[in-house]
Amino acid sequence: MSLANVVVIGAQWGDEGKGKITDLLSRSADVVVRYQGGVNAGHTIVVDEKVLKLHLIPSGILYPDTVCLIGSGTVVDPKVMLGELDMLAENGIGVQGLQLASTAHVTMPYHRLLDQAMEQRRGDRRIGTTGRGIGPTYADKSERNGIRIIDILDEARLRDRLAGPLAEKNEILQKLYGIEPLDFDAVVAEYVAYGKRLAPHVVDCTRAIHQAARARKNILFEGAQGTLLDLDHGTYPYVTSSNPVSGGACIGAGVGPTLIDRVIGVAKAYTTTAAAWTICHRRR
């Protein structure tokens, strides 16, 4: 199948089955780019009766010649990502094709705690978040107060970048929600360890994509959730914290719109707004 550079999006609220389309197109893709969202999305894949659950890593990782790039517009929970890498390795699937943007933002432990505490406090006005810290991570990104992948690759850099945000978040956790504060040294040690394991996969996202484009590689841009969950254009406030629309691919991947040849929107015959974040499909 001829591919060129294609964006695949959900045309409704997610759960349209776009994982099947993405998986089909991944067979012809040289590069698959996940451009937004975090561990609040993903695929469950069945291969030879083995169940593989992926929240961050594109299903294209199952094709040995396909490069899978986690773009700058995503938010990454390193613990979850490393768990996925370990799971793939245990099932004999190579991960040498995985690349991770150095500028992607990191979900920290206080993001998860705040997400859960804020959702509980909303009571009957709950948004329906997954409680995995996605919204607070994007909020810190917008406030220029976030931690990026590049920051967890060096302990001294992480200590410098984390000192202010963690002190602020600890005060909020303790005084507003009655949650015990997080230990600074423990958080640094945990995330530096994550950084050491992820370091071999870290790349300059925009450069990697443009190099692939200049080499006339087929690039597939994979979004999470669906159009009607878009932060700006969806059913606000019952939306996600990023931009799953096709234009979000340009921002999250760091490319211009002229690089995109085609957009494929996936819809289903009926619509629901249930928070069914995981798309299940079967590979043959």
> Could you list the active site residues?
15, 43
Q: Which token pair is 101? A: 């943007």
In terms of phi and psi (left: phi > 0; alpha: psi -120 to 50; beta: otherwise), the region of 14 is left
For residues 61 and 149, give the distance between their C-alpha atoms in angstroms, rounded to a whole number.
Answer: 20
Cis peptide before 136 (omega within 30 of 0): no
CA triple 103-94-208, angle to 5 deg: 30
Cβ neighbours around 260 below 10 Å, total: 19
For residues 233 and 228, give the distance between their C-alpha atoms in angstroms, rounded to a whole number.
Answer: 7
For residues 32 and 28, give the distance between their C-alpha atoms in angstroms, rounded to a whole number.
Answer: 10
For residues 108 and 160, give the distance between their C-alpha atoms in angstroms, rounded to a whole number.
Answer: 15
